[in-house]
Amino acid sequence: MAAIPRSPSSPLEIAIIGAGPIGLEAAIYASALGHRPTVYERLEAGANIRRWGFLRLFSSWKLNTSPLGLAALEAQGLPIPPAEEYPGGGEYCDRYLAPLAAALGDRVKTGREILAISRAGLLKTEAIASPERARKPFELLVRNRKEELETAQAQVVIDASGVYQNHGNLGSGGLPAPGEEEFSEKIAYHIPDVLGGDRPLYEGQSTLLVGAGYSAATVIDSFIELMKTAPGTRLTWARRDTRPEPLPRHEDDPLPQRDQLAETANLFAKSPPKDCEVLTGLVTSRIEESQGRLGIELRGETPAERQTLEMDRVISMTGYRPDTSIHRELQVHLCYATEGPMKLAAALLGEDSNGDCLARTGLPGDTLGHPEPGFFSAGHKSYGRRSDFLLRTGIEQVRDIFRLVERDEDLDLYDEAYSP
């Protein structure tokens, strides 16, 4: 990777996409190094986490905060969260992300959506593997709250825009099922607040749940509670796989809520409660209107494996994927399977953690880069379509990215900051 031109005393203009936990962390780190970060956020700081703010995090405060972040809280006279407690999503935003954004002040630009990134004066096909690209600033096309377009420049870009806004589809092979877009108002692609604000949509209704990960397990856990007090509520769980226990469990799991969800979902898979059903080896092949409800066709590998269900709503927990369109004019190298940075995807494929994201050891910081000098993927977007990203991993990524930016492999501001 070509070096980013700078003198030791010259601060860099750093554009950070996304004001989630990792974007804000990157800005705090950059500021501590004397750089000039600007965070561009399409909505508001922490907006995607607030969408599931009614849920509790799998991991404790100590795994979701950094020494620099805690120092920012302390500087504002705010209490330090108890390291071993597990925050709710809304609490995490209020007690941690909001103070980080406040510490950064007007460096966080909300209501700013990045539409595209390029190299000023260079096409994607020009100056391949040449130091010339590093000498040109990045050009960012930005849409503001008034729907006006503006441009900005930066010497470094960190894409921490996440994946949560780009959901997967219900159909075979990841395609939208015929009728899926037409009836999207009755399909939830993010975990609904079944026991709270979304309860009227599901109580006493028949719902189809699609997916087999921890998000699906969270929905199942909520429906089990809902059915205790809402007669007539029905849940059908449809999955592509045929495993008797679809969620893995880890011996002496240090994340007890993760283990509890896996236990609940696996028990549901083996012995569904009254008025519930589990269907395996099937995918959604069509959705249409059926007497005011949804007629949902599911199919297996053979024509004989076909069912049609009548449902009121669908919850699609089919994963998320990164938006790769914004860096189309840059020289990036993405994994053909996950759409994360190729080096990181290869390292994750080769690592040995037995499927437990918490057991994963640190990966070299250069796995976050691309052939485009000064452009980095961070946070969940760096994992692409993988679902095993942890916030702790993203915090470590920020440190590793700035080791590359500063060309100092021993740089670690976390060692110098607040330590509880």
The 8 Å CB, 24+ separation contacts for 23-26 are 23/158, 23/160, 23/161, 23/378, 23/379, 24/69, 24/97, 24/100, 24/101, 24/104, 24/108, 25/66, 25/68, 25/69, 25/100, 25/394, 25/395, 25/398, 26/158, 26/160, 26/378, 26/398, 26/401
Q: Where in the chain is the domain with CATH 3.50.50.60?
A: 13-164+320-415, 172-316
Q: Tell me how far apart the alpha carbons of residues 171 and 177 are, in angstroms, rounded to a whole number.
A: 4
- The runs of H, that is alpha helices, within 52-164 are 67-75, 89-92, 98-104, 131-135
- Please compute the mean of the pLDDT values over residues 130-155 and round it to a whole number: 97
> Considering the domain 13-164+320-415 in this protein, what is its CATH number?
3.50.50.60
DSSP string covering 276-311, please?
EEEE-S-EEEEEEEETTEEEEEEE-SSTTSEEEEEE
Query: 76-85, 216-225, 308-317, 351-360: lowest mean pLDDT where?
Result: 351-360
> Considering the domain 172-316 in this protein, what is its CATH number?
3.50.50.60
Query: 102-116, 282-296, 327-341, 355-369: lowest mean pLDDT where?
Result: 355-369
- Please compute the mean of the pLDDT values over residues 365-377 and round it to a whole number: 92
Place of tokens 């590998």: 301
Q: Which token pair is 96?
A: 């941690």
DSSP string covering 104-123, please?
HGGGEEET-EEEEEEETTB-
Which of 7-11, 140-144, 404-408 is the most confident on average? 140-144
- Residue 349 pLDDT class (50, 70, 90 cuts): confident
Quick one: which of 394, 392, 399 has its CA closest to 358? 392
| Amino acid of residue 18 | G
Bridge partners of 38?
15
pLDDT score recorded for residue 356: 54
pLDDT at 139 over 70: yes
- Please compute the mean of the pLDDT values over residues 72-85 and round it to a whole number: 96
Burial class (CB in 10 A: 0-12, 13-18, 19+), 76: exposed
pLDDT by residue (tens digit) across 248-302? 998 888 888 999 999 999 999 999 999 899 999 999 999 999 999 999 999 998 7
Quick one: which of 37, 14, 3 has its CA closest to 135? 3
pLDDT by residue (tens digit) across 21-63? 999 999 999 999 999 999 999 999 999 999 999 999 989 999 9
